[in-house]
Amino acid sequence: MSLELELQQYLKEIKLKDGSKCSLRPLRKDDEKNFHEFFLAVPEPERMFIKHRVTEPQTIRDWCKNIDLGRNLPLLALMDGQIVGVATLHQQLGGWKRHIGRVSVLVHPKYRGRGLARALVSEIVSIARESGLEKVEAEFIGEQEAAIKMFALLGFSNLVRLEGYVKDMQAIDHDYVLMGLQLKTDEEYAGVG
């Protein structure tokens, strides 16, 4: 079975730190309304750091209409039918970065502090490894300290920090931070593992 087909059937139940349960599955066409509501719950100052205009229904409609899990895999966390978190694996299917997946994560403000981001990112990193990627990276604005700390806990290391390099949605300059994680061990590279 192709990875794409496998992912479409993917469904996993996880238990969070407070004992609550949620299910993980990839984004589907019929998630449009639910996914838009999820982004509306993100506080305005945080939304400034998101790369896309996620409060605009058209943005979410385009994502749900043009699902290509091999290129962008949004793994949703759902509780009682509501989307409470998402981690996405972005892949460039050709070129210099074809062996590197990019990971991003966002958790609904009411569901933070329960280990959900940690579970989502661990899961997406496993999927990246199974799909044969060699590395994963994650990009941040310097102020996203909680996220930077969390990715460090999951084994990501700081690759670069560029002062005042990026602009948020209000055109204010911020530091750019790139973190990365090697998925293949040296043994695997040498064909020993």
Ligand X SMILES: CC(C)(COP(=O)(O)OP(=O)(O)OC[C@H]1O[C@@H](n2cnc3c(N)ncnc32)[C@H](O)[C@@H]1OP(=O)(O)O)[C@@H](O)C(=O)NCCC(=O)NCCS
Name the residue with tokens 């590395």: 135
Identify the residue among 45, 113, 132, 155 touching ligand X (CB under 6 A): 113
Nearest approach, Cβ of residue 105 and ligand X (Å): 5
Task: Among 27, 69, 91, 114, indicate the residue that binds ligand X (CB under 6 A).
Answer: 114
Q: Is residue 125 a contact residue for ligand X (CB under 6 A)?
A: no
Counting Cα atoms < 13 Å in the Cβ hemisphere of 30 gives 3
| Residue 144 in the binding site for ligand X (CB under 6 A) | yes
Tell me if 111 sits within 8 A of 79, measured CB to CB.
yes
Choices 22-30, 102-110, 158-166, 171-179; region in contact with ligand X by CB under 6 A: 102-110
Q: Which of 35, 38, 39, 140 binds ligand X (CB under 6 A)?
A: 140
Among 46, 130, 173, 188, binds ligand X (CB under 6 A): 46
Cα 118 from Cα 135, distance rounded (Å):
18
In the sheet that holds 21-26, the strands lie side by side as 12-15, 21-26, 72-79, 82-91, 100-107, 135-141, 173-182, 157-167
Tell which residue, 51, 42, 44, 31, has the closest CA to residue 112. Answer: 42
Unique residue bearing structure tokens 């469904």: 11
Determine which helix (DSSP H) or strand (DSSP E) holds 85, and give its type and residue range: strand 82-91
**Cβ distance to ligand X smaller for residue 3 or 50:** 50
Task: Based on the shown chain and the rule CB under 6 A, indicate whether residue 142 belongs to the binding site for ligand X.
Answer: no
147 part of the interface to ligand X, by CB under 6 A: yes
As measured in angstroms, the least distance from the Cβ of 146 to ligand X is 3
Residue with tokens 């969070």: 16
State which residue, 115 or 142, has the beta carbon closest to ligand X: 115
**Contact (CB, 8 A) for 131 and 172:** no
Residues that bind ligand X (CB under 6 A): 46, 104-107, 112-118, 138, 140, 144, 146-147, 149-150, 153
